[in-house]
Amino acid sequence: MIEVDGVISTLGPHGTDSAHEAAKHCSDVALFPSFAAAVAHAEETGGYALVPTGYLDFRDGQLADSWVDMHFRLLGRMRTVNVWENPTKTMCLAINRQRVPDRRSIRSIALHPATTLFARQTCEDAEITYFSSKPLAVEAAAKGLVDACIGSVDVVAQTELEPIDHFHPTMVWSLYQSVRAEPFRCVAGTAG
């Protein structure tokens, strides 16, 4: 496992897989409302940015950004200093029992765009509302704005939502650093 000597900037709020993964590799993690903001901060400060290759940003139901687009935009400005695969936190389909009694009744679901496949596999006809992070999707379902959500089990457990299906995916992570910064400082090797 790599340990980074410096600040890792990534997507917040607390509870995101990105925040969880960054904390495994660095004691100083800065959370931002978007990956673009996290990368900009890392570029300005010479720190690091952690971005999952599954990054997708939907706005008004349309794909607005992705990891590959961001990666190509960063050419010449940020360098990839490490890439690895790790499990995400366990995810679940969780329902708001005050709105629906069971999976068959789900008509609306909140989720992060990267988890769309899980929604389509479990409740394919539900209307999707995209959020920039799974914790924000969980919050929407807990407030009763939608019938269900795809979220991390630990975040869902802090609400009255009921998990009804679980998912155990992995993610590939990219660690970036400004090309102007001193080369990557790894404390304990680079085996990922």
pTM of the model: 0.85
**Is the CATH code 3.40.190.10 the one for domain 7-88+170-178?**
yes
Ranges of each domain in the chain: 7-88+170-178, 91-167
Q: What is the pLDDT along the chain (192 residues), one digit of tens a residue?
A: 788 888 999 999 999 999 999 999 999 999 999 999 999 999 999 999 999 999 998 888 788 999 999 999 999 999 999 999 999 999 999 999 999 999 999 999 999 999 999 999 999 999 999 998 999 999 999 999 999 999 999 999 999 999 999 999 999 999 999 998 877 665 554 444
* Residue recorded with tokens 């992070």: 133
Q: Which residues of 68-101 are buried (b: 16+ CB within 10 A; e: fewer)?
A: eebbeebeeebbebbebebebbebbbbbbeebbe
Same fold, 7-88+170-178 and 91-167: yes
CATH 3.40.190.10 corresponds to the domain 91-167: yes
